[in-house]
Each structure stands twice: as structure tokens, then as C-alpha cells.
Amino acid sequence: MSKLPVSPLAPAAFPDMPPIDGVRLATFEAGIRYKKRADLMLAELAAGSRVAGVFTRSLCPSAPVDWCRKILPGGLARAVVCNAGNANAFTGRAGDTAAELTARVIGESLGVPTESVFLASTGVIGETLPTAALEAALPKLAKALVDSRSSNWRAAADAIRTTDTFAKGATATARIDGVEVRINGIAKGSGMIAPDMATMLGFAFTDADLPQSVLQALLADSVVKSFNSITVDSDTSTSDTVLLFATGARALSTPVDDAGDPRLSDFKSALDAVMLDLAHQIVRDGEGATKFVTVTVSGAESDDAARRIALAIGNSPLVKTALAASDANWGRLVMAIGKAGEKADRDRLSIWIGDEQCAANGILCEQYSEARATEHLKQDEVSLRCDVGVGQGQATIWTCDLTHGYIDINAGYRS
């Protein structure tokens, strides 16, 4: 497949990401699937680093997901390795062997326990990972470790891409009890993106000194509001992984041992900002996407019900193709709401496209202007809003349009 053009929704530039004390980075070209580009990424973590993780709910998880789930209860991490081009999923015992080999070789190369090496793979499902090429490349990857300055974060983000058209990174600073800490994150994802994550990987790193129990609670909460609130095509992958590492380089005078500690307020906001930024970038890189779409549902029976209704809208091919055509066919929103399986009062339903109200109390608004609604849909950032009239629940999700480009990419390329 020829190189894809950069998404028209891409950020203007990769962010300037500061070093994180206790993190070193490396990339290497192993030739697992791609030629003339790095396809391996390694992050080495200082001794004592803690880790939290959230993984796919697919019933066909990849070998790296199984490996991470097995070692996560240990709470400590010394490295994370990611390969692009091969998902190492649905590969039987050979997949487990490849995962164990990767962790062992990196562990030996760095002088750290095998069970402290976390793994992620992304790419084609069902193809055996070429262990000979991998085993030869991994020691060279470890020898390539450098500091975590901004250009090296960019290289790491590039190395984990598959059909992504741009590297994805985000950064923020926060204060915990007066101590300034940093958070950097990189991610990949473009297609097979749906709630419960998808074929997306996210790695976040902080120099904050926080225990695993706190990290896990913060990450789980943040993922619900970010990676689990996006959809490109409703397909959930086998390899979804989000990992949060804390090196502890910025020590606190008094330890934090509860995720509800008010001293974490600023850190929570910063972590949420990084995760949401990365999630939005994945939607902006949706395969063939030309529009970034915000869907907000209010008046639902609960927040969870609102989220499910919003996702029914965001996943509807009829809604998404109408968005691609700038067609203000708001009846398709009614259809999606009705099929969501959640309570909605047809006779109190209200719908907006941008600021233009299309329907109120279950019927077309007299003042509705399809021309104004269409003009909004011609923009590259679109908003849809619905009130279903049964309660106080509300939620927002993010999606993109569905174009011929999505078909061209997925019909012309095995990923």
C-alpha cells in the first residue's frame, strides 16, 4: 500500500514534549512488516516505576494483552515494548512464545526481570510473529536507548503507527502538594476504533510518585471519558492497551495513597487532558475521515444510557455517510436514537445540528432552516445534540464521518 496522505484533521504539529525523569526511549527497524521505517519501540523505566493498565474487552485478546494482564498485579514496570505491523493475535501457542521471548530478551538486555517488561503489538491479526527477526532486533533496540527529549517522543510515536497518517502525542504539567510533575503520552489508532478501546494503543508516562492502586483508579476513570468515548467504525480489536507508568522521580513529602485525595485534583485534570487529547487525535485520524464530530445526548435515564444512545448515533453508517455528504438528514438521528435500546420519549425528543434546532417535542421546528444546518455540516468540526426527554443523564462521545476513503483504505490494505 502506498503511503496515505495526512488526515485533513491532523494537528498542525507534534507537541513539544519535555523529558520525563526515569524514562529512556528507543526505536528500531526490525522489518516485521514494514520496510524502511522503525517498527519497534522501547521505553525503559527507572527502578521502582509503577504501572497501571486497561485492556480490550474482546473475547479474542492478543498474546501481549494476556501477558500484560498476567504481570500487571506485580505493580512494577521496567520496560514496555511495542511492535507495529503484526498484532500477535489469534496465533495460538506460537503467539505466547513470541510474547515471552520478547519480554525475556529485553529483560536480559536491560538486566531487569522478565515479569517487569510490558508488551503491546498492533497490526495484522492471525499471522505468526517472525520470532527470528524479532530476537535479532531486540538487543539492538535496547542498545539504541536515548533520553526522552521531544524528538525522541516523536520517534517513539512514529514507530507504533500502522495506518495512522500522523504521530500522536500529548503533554501536560500538574502540581501535587506543591510538587510540579509532568505527563507525556503517545498513542496510535486510525481504524477498528470503538468503545472498550479498539486497535489503539496508548502509553502515558509521568514522573509523579504514586502507588499502583492510585494509578489504576485514575487511569480507569480517565479511559472511560476518553478512549472509551470515541468511535470510528464500531469495531473493537484484539490488541487494545492503555498503560500508565509512574517513575516516582518527583517525590512527595507526604505520600498519596487514595485516588480521592484532594491533592490529586490538578493531576487528575492533567491526566484527563492528555488522554482526551490523544483520543481526539485518533478520531481525527479516522480512516478516510474529513470531519471531527461531537455527539452530545442529554435527558436520558442515566449517564450510561446517554452514552449508549450517543454511541448508537456515532456508530450508525447512515448517520456517518450523511455527515460525509453534508446532508442535514436529521431523521437518521431519530432512527439511531430509536434503535439504541435505551428509554427515549418520542414526543419530547429534540435535535440540534450545530446551533440549528431541527426538532422539538417530537416534531419538526417551524423555524428550522435546512440551509443553516447544511452550512454547519460543511465545516470540518461538526456537533450533533439530542435531548431524549426522560431524565437527567447526559454524555458526549466523538466520532468522524464515513467516506469512500475508508473503503479504499480497508479494501486495498491488509491491516
Give tens-digit pLDDT for 321-362: 999 999 999 999 999 999 999 999 999 999 999 999 999 999
In the chain the domains, ranked by start, together with CATH numbers, are 23-284 (3.60.70.12), 292-412 (3.10.20.340)
Give tens-digit pLDDT for 150-183: 899 999 999 999 889 999 999 999 999 999 999 9
Please answer whether residues 257 and 211 qualify as being in contact, where contact means their C-beta atoms are separated by less than 8 angstroms. Answer: yes
Q: List, by residue number, the catalytic residues.
A: 199
Distance of CA 389 to the CA centre of its chain: 31
Residue 238, pLDDT score: 62
364 CB contacts (<8 Å, ≥6 apart)? 358
Residues of the chain with confidence (pLDDT) below 50 = 1, 192-198
Mapping DSSP to helix (H, G, I), strand (E, B) and coil, where does residue 70 land?
helix
Cα(373)–Cα(355) distance, integer angstroms: 8
Phi and psi at residue 357, to the nearest 5°: -80, 125
Q: Tell which residue, 43, 66, 55, has the closest CA to residue 204.
A: 43
Phi and psi at residue 136, to the nearest 5°: -75, -35
Mapping DSSP to helix (H, G, I), strand (E, B) and coil, where does residue 387 land?
strand
β-strand partners of 188? 201
What global pTM score does this model have?
0.93
Cα(176)–Cα(138) distance, integer angstroms: 37
CA dihedral for 45, 47, 51, 55, sign (positive or negative): positive
Residue 150, pLDDT score: 87
Please answer whether residues 87 and 125 qualify as being in contact, where contact means their C-beta atoms are separated by less than 8 angstroms. Answer: yes
Give tens-digit pLDDT for 369-389: 999 999 999 999 999 999 999
Give tens-digit pLDDT for 288-313: 899 999 999 999 999 999 999 999 99
β-strand partners of 393? 300
